[in-house]
Amino acid sequence: MTGPEPARWEGGWLSGARAVPSPNFGPRPGAERPSLLVLHSISLPPGVFGGPEIEALFTNCLDCSAHPSFEALRGLEVSAHFLIRRDGELLQFVSADERAWHAGKSSFRGRERCNDFSLGVELEGLEGGVFDERQYLALGRLLPQLRERYPLVAVVGHEHIAPGRKADPGPGFDWLRLRQDLGWETQLFPFV
């Protein structure tokens, strides 16, 4: 029996992910390589899954008049490296070699500006809601591919690097399951 096929990369773009390039990114400072992985959750409108709104937000194409909750997003320029849809589909918005704009004001182990040294993975879902089995399976494929390429030292939620400001992915995310599925060392999950 053979193991999983090794990841194929073109620069910082992972083959197998549907590329949806976002204009919301910048260079990492110096020779910085991502060492932190940050999990998020998002749904637009809140609690609605499967529509084009997340892609539209990350590509600055969201019609902010289409739903009352979108008004707060007007003018916002955000992105993530990856999005995992409810059905497990993997999308990539920013090269993993570049800095996506996903963490905002944040700190990890005393170091500010987590965007500089992290990868952002959005899960289609609600803060505190449960996530689909297919999303855990997709994470189980994606994270080893990222760890093979980048020197990851920790996997955290947005709630852990911006406490009080962010609460995602929230209590509905099964951190223990993720750790067990991956078989990674406990210290990679400092908040579990």
* pLDDT tens digits for range 117-153: 999 999 999 998 999 999 999 999 999 999 999 999 9
* Contact call for residues 130 and 172 (beta carbons, < 8 A): yes
Name every residue whose Cβ is closer than 8 Å to that of residue 160 and which is 6 or more positions away in sequence: 108, 190, 191
User: 55, 77, 112, 122: which is the annotated catalytic residue?
Assistant: 122
pTM for the model stands at 0.96
Q: What is the pLDDT of residue 188?
A: 95
Prior bond to 29 cis, omega within 30? no
Strand partners, 100: 25
Q: What is the pLDDT of residue 4?
A: 59
Q: Which CATH superfamily is domain 20-43+79-184 in?
A: Peptidoglycan recognition protein-like (3.40.80.10)
- Stated length of the chain: 192
Q: What is the pLDDT of residue 39?
A: 98
Q: What is the pLDDT of residue 6?
A: 75
For residue 31, which amino acid is it? A
Segments of the chain with pLDDT less than 70: 1-5
Q: Note if 148 is an active site residue.
A: no
Q: What is the pLDDT of residue 5?
A: 64
